[in-house]
Amino acid sequence: MKKIVLSLLVVTALLSVSCKKSSTSESDSKEPTEAAASAEGTKYVANTTESVINWSGSKPAGKHSGTINLKDGEITVKDNKVVSGKFTINMNTITVTDLKADDGKEDLEAHLKGTGDKEGQDHFFNVKKYPTGFFAITSIEEKDGKTIVFGNLSLKNVTKSVNFPANITVTDKEVTIDSDTLVLNRTYWNINYASKSLFDNLKDKFINDEIEIKVSVKATK
């Protein structure tokens, strides 16, 4: 009997550990991490006209895509490697690129910004209350032949840790960072509008929680 009880305890412990491991993954958004210990190095200033954040979101009826611009930003380079970076996101620049003017483009942009006819409601980004977002690079690591950028993303006064593969090029005059597509769960940042995981009465009127982000940043001395 003692052996049976002991075996059951071992199995239970193993199952507990297994569940804990499977509950998170490297791509999950987590609590923010500390910034890089040293920000010493050469500063490169982000070119806000040549840097862009591409986004896409979907729902049962289709998919929309667009862009967001940076307000400002800088990258620090030491020994020819990026060691830190910080970027302010201008949420007022949310643009829809898959629709034409007078064909729903303006309405969707206002809906995303929260500046439409139902302005008082909690729509997506509520740019009057939260006009900017922020991303800070905390570290960059090489894993399995890929460059992984780790950082903290702040939207609507909520900060979470994210990471993504990226191609980084450093020269004497310029730094470019081009990310792979990053899939984010918008509800982690309280972007809850029409989320099927939060509201159970939406039927087919929901909007998927996952949004895709692809970042291209260019910075110069």
Burial call 158-184: b when 16+ CB within 10 Å, e when fewer: ebbbbbbebebebeeeebbbebeebeb
pLDDT in tens, 84-103: 999 999 999 999 999 999 99
Closest by CA to 122, choosing from 53, 48, 198, is: 198
Q: Is residue 140 part of a domain?
A: yes
Q: Which of 103, 125, 122 is nearest to 113 (CA)?
A: 125
For residue 101, the enclosing domain spans 31-220
Number of domains in the chain: 1
Nearest residue to 52 via CA among 181, 178, 189: 178
What is the sign, positive or negative, of the torsion defined by CA atoms of 151, 154, 160, 163?
Answer: negative
Q: Is residue 153 part of a domain?
A: yes
Identify the CATH number of the domain in which residue 188 sits: 2.40.128.110
Q: Which residues pair with 133 in a beta bridge?
A: 89
pLDDT tens-digit readout, 61-84:
899 999 999 999 999 999 999 999
Full-model pTM: 0.82
Q: Tell me how far apart the alpha carbons of residues 9 and 24 are, in angstroms, rounded to a whole number.
A: 24
